[in-house]
Amino acid sequence: MSAHFDALGFPLNNVRNSWGALSPRGILLRIWADEIVSERVMVLGPPAVRELQSKRANGFWERVDHLRLLWSGGIAGYALVLTATDVNAVPRQVKDFNREYVREIVALDEAADGSIWAELGEPVSVSKLEKHAVNHRLLPASGAFPTIAKAKSMEGPGKKLGPTASKLPALRNLLIDLAKTRRTYTNEEARTPLGLGTLGMTNALRALGRECVEAGEPVLTSLIVRPETGRCADGFYKEFRRDDAQEREACYAFWGAPEEGDQLSSAPDDSLRQRAQRFALVATRPEQQAFRNRLFIASGGRCIVTGCDIDAALDAAHRHGRDWRQGHNRAGDGWLLRRDVHRLYDAGLLRISDDGIRVEVDEEIASHYGQFAR
């Protein structure tokens, strides 16, 4: 199995102990086939189970770090499905694993008992995984990442800020102002007005970056760049496993004020992924967020009937006969429609063929919507 992880571009950090792997492509977790329930799988147990695992399982804290990154969204996530020799054994032994495909992870959420669950998306063939990982990104989870004891990754020299902690609010405000004006600073330009030394600034950037990740925000510290390259120091990727150039653009989109008169439309340089994430977050149910995100990406951010691409005017509509309560939340279960068209579709005044090619309009609305019949 470790050779399979290598072949997929996700080398295990520890062949014996790791429960998954982090690479520039994203994160690949191991999951058990018998634990998949209605396209969801528990990826970390409730607090009582975690307390035992943290003491006995050497890969526990690495799994926590992987989930912390996935929780914030903006990263590709997948699951390799394993079967156990004996599902009742503790610990389990791997009998086999799926060599043909991995499962897409769409989002994470916390159950009532405190366990963490992953919503699974479409199967992804191993031959297409590299290409798929370029565009696939998880939705940010709702709320802050659950408190899980004190992870090893948060301990050690230099992780305790001391007096430097009082400078974090000022550093945060400084970087937000930079993002609003689409600018960057060098390390020296940022630390000098704050009265921070080199080590203090390094620790402050690490702490602020983690705050951003846990809040589900783009990492503001991507705005601190080297003057000779215009890119972040190598430590940025090692710490957050994100491309600093992409993260800067995400900061600009997240914090930048909209242009006058542009409240309904996206900035010209917004990526489809960024638009999809904002569109998805309008929903209140986690499963609806995932559905909206999938549908938006599959439709290219446009109403399939009118071609409208104004995000605020679009709805994620379930096809007739589909119901989100029954788990019908794949891209194929819906249409991306302009809101007025959505109402007409629900009322039966506008009909769409199963393949989405043919559109029929009722005579009652033909005078206003006849141009969309095809």
- On whether the CB atoms of residues 302 and 309 are closer than 8 A, the answer is yes
Residues contacting 103, CB < 8 A, separation 6+: 31, 78, 79, 81, 120, 121, 122, 123, 124
Q: In this predicted structure, what is the pLDDT of residue 168?
A: 83
Each domain of the chain, given as residue ranges in start order, spans 2-153, 156-255, 272-372
Model-level pTM? 0.46
- The length of the chain is 374
Rounded Cα distance, 219 and 244, in Å: 9
pLDDT given for residue 49 in this prediction: 80
Tell me what pLDDT residue 280 has: 58
pLDDT of residue 30: 96
Angle between helices 244-255 and 272-280 (to 10 degrees): 50
196-228 burial, b at 16+ Cβ within 10 Å, e below that, comes to beeebbbbbbbbbbbbbbeebbbbbbbbbbeee
pLDDT in tens, the chain (374 residues): 999 999 999 998 888 888 999 888 889 999 999 999 989 999 998 887 877 777 666 788 888 888 988 887 778 999 999 999 998 887 788 999 999 999 999 999 998 888 999 999 999 999 999 999 888 888 878 777 887 754 344 344 334 556 677 788 888 888 988 888 889 999 999 888 888 888 888 888 988 888 887 666 788 999 999 999 999 998 888 787 788 888 888 788 767 644 333 333 333 345 666 666 666 555 444 456 667 777 888 888 889 999 988 887 888 899 988 876 566 777 788 999 998 899 899 889 999 998 888 999 999 999 989 999 99
What is the pLDDT, as a whole number, of residue 239? 80
User: 332: phi > 0 → left, psi -120 to 50 → alpha, else beta; which?
Assistant: alpha
